[in-house]
Amino acid sequence: MRAAVFHPDLATPGNFLRIEDVPTPTVLPGHVLLRVLACGVCRTDLHIVERDLPPLAPAIIPGHQIVGEVVAIGPSGTAPGSVILSEDPELAEGDESKEELPIGSRVGVSWMGGTDGTCRFCTSGAENLCDHPIFTGYTVNGGYAEYALARADFVHPLPRDADPVHVAPLLCAGIIGFRSLRVAEIQPGDRVGLFGFGSSASLAIKVLQHWGCEVYVVTRGEGHRAAARAAGAAWVGDESARPPIPLDRAITFAPAGSVVVHALSCLRKGGIVAINAIHLDQMPAFDYDSLLWGERQIRSVANMTRQDARDFLQIAAELNIQPQANVFSLENANQALIAVRDETENGSAVIVP
């Protein structure tokens, strides 16, 4: 198969990936082989190829927002902690009545590619904090390829007619953004600040509006500010601006500690800032008495759970969330990453092999 491969020792700025012929994955027990229909390009992919996140393998195929078609199924039940998901979100994880996905099923794969199922976090409902996680496109090969292998218990069933290009960005930008709303403990009617307005924020605002929240956007770049206005934000300002009223909650999307401190300064007492970032540069010093005191909180957002994925995908279907997408061929995977880095596209970058 053709794949875009990241070799840490060979990559150069702007030429992160090499397009190669590599063996099609062999189907393993407890896994499914997918024909990749589309794969979203995430800022985390950029952190990987720019080595903000340390390389964990001599070569890896990135990509963790995969929409694929099941073309082969390995024997079930032998992957660590494995269960097979049915299309019924009411069934509890681990329920032996779950049915195997048939050949031809359309499914999504996200950043969390597997957990051990046995650590204290997995057994207490916090699998996003698993001690031995598998990360799609980082610890195992991802979706910048014609085929991808995935744990059968970590794929998410999708409607057969789901548009791969427009669903792909939902599988990380959407799900992690949704988890950020949960970490910030947002309640209907809250005044919520979104600091940054890229792919994840542009999806989160639709959920917030559905919950009756007032949304205030602080972001750099006139293109992003125009997008926030078009999305119906109650107020929009540049990166140095302060919303006109104190915020109940705030989500930061930029990988900059200074943005977190700025968001904190805009909170009311008892407010929460949730940091939607897997990598963050140095947090600057800030004044405790005027910024953090008053039971204000800063919380990080770490990964996601399968329940987050099911809940968000259900809401996205109900609201008919269709993110704007810009399609790149597999051969142009480097250009897709550059577009994310330079923020030259409105909407999400999606690779279609």
Q: What is the DSSP string of 55-86?
A: P-SSSB----EEEEEEEEEPPSS-STT-----
CATH architecture of 175-300: 3-Layer(aba) Sandwich (3.40)
Alpha carbon distances (Å) from 42 to 37, 109, 136: 16, 13, 12
User: What pLDDT score does 291 carry?
Assistant: 92
Interval 108-136 mean pLDDT = 96
Q: Is the pLDDT at 93 greater than 70, yes or no?
A: no
Residues 6+ apart with CB under 8 A from 166: 322, 323, 325
Q: For residue 319, what are the contacts with CB-CB under 8 A and spacing of at least 6?
A: 206, 207, 210
8 Å CB contact between 184 and 250: yes
Q: Is the pLDDT of residue 77 over 50?
A: no
Q: What confidence category does residue 315 fall into, taking pLDDT thresholds of 50, 70 and 90?
A: very high
Cβ(229)–Cβ(222) below 8 Å = no
* Residue 279: per-residue pLDDT: 83
Please say if the pLDDT value at position 2 is more than 90: yes
Cα–Cα distance measured from residue 250 to residue 272, given in angstroms and rounded to the nearest whole number: 6
**Residue 64 scores a pLDDT above 70:** yes
Q: Cβ-count burial of 209 within 10 angstroms (0-12 exposed, 13-18 middle, 19+ buried)?
A: middle
pLDDT tier, 101 (very low <50, low <70, confident <90, very high otherwise): confident
* Confidence check: pLDDT of 346 > 90: no
Report, in angstroms and rounded to the nearest whole number, the Rg of the chain calculated over CA atoms.
20
How many C-beta atoms surround the C-beta of residue 293 within 10 A?
A: 10
pLDDT tops 60 at residue 84: no
- pLDDT higher for 80 or 348? 348
- Using CA atoms, how far apart are residues 195 and 179, in angstroms rounded to an integer? 16
In CATH, which superfamily holds the domain spanning 2-163+322-352?
Answer: Medium-chain alcohol dehydrogenases, catalytic domain (3.90.180.10)
**How many CB atoms neighbour CB 86 within 10 A?**
15
Band of pLDDT at residue 55, cut at 50, 70 and 90: very high
Provide the residue ranges of all domains of the chain, joining segments of one domain with +.
2-163+322-352, 175-300
Q: What is the mean pLDDT of the chain?
A: 91
Please tell me the predicted confidence (pLDDT) of residue 81.
38
Assign 100 a pLDDT band (cuts: 50, 70, 90).
Answer: low
- Reported confidence tier of residue 199, pLDDT bands at 50, 70, 90: confident
Residue 83 is predicted with a pLDDT of 37
- If pLDDT is split at 50, 70 and 90, which confidence band does 87 have? very low
Which pLDDT belongs to residue 97? 32
Residue with tokens 């030259």: 344
Residue that the structure tokens 């189907």 belong to: 27
Pair of tokens at residue 318: 């109900």
Cα–Cα dist 154/134, whole Å: 10
pLDDT tens digits for range 227-271: 999 999 999 999 999 999 999 999 999 889 999 999 999 999 999
**SS3 label, residue 279:** coil
Cβ atoms of 107 and 32 within 8 Å: the answer is: yes
Q: What is the pLDDT of residue 75?
A: 85
pTM: 0.87
Helix axes 173-183, 306-319, angle to 10 degrees: 110
Residue 311 CB partners (closer than 8 Å, separation 6+): 89, 178
Cα–Cα distance for residue pair 216/212, rounded to 1 Å: 13
Q: Is the pLDDT reported for residue 314 higher than 90?
A: yes
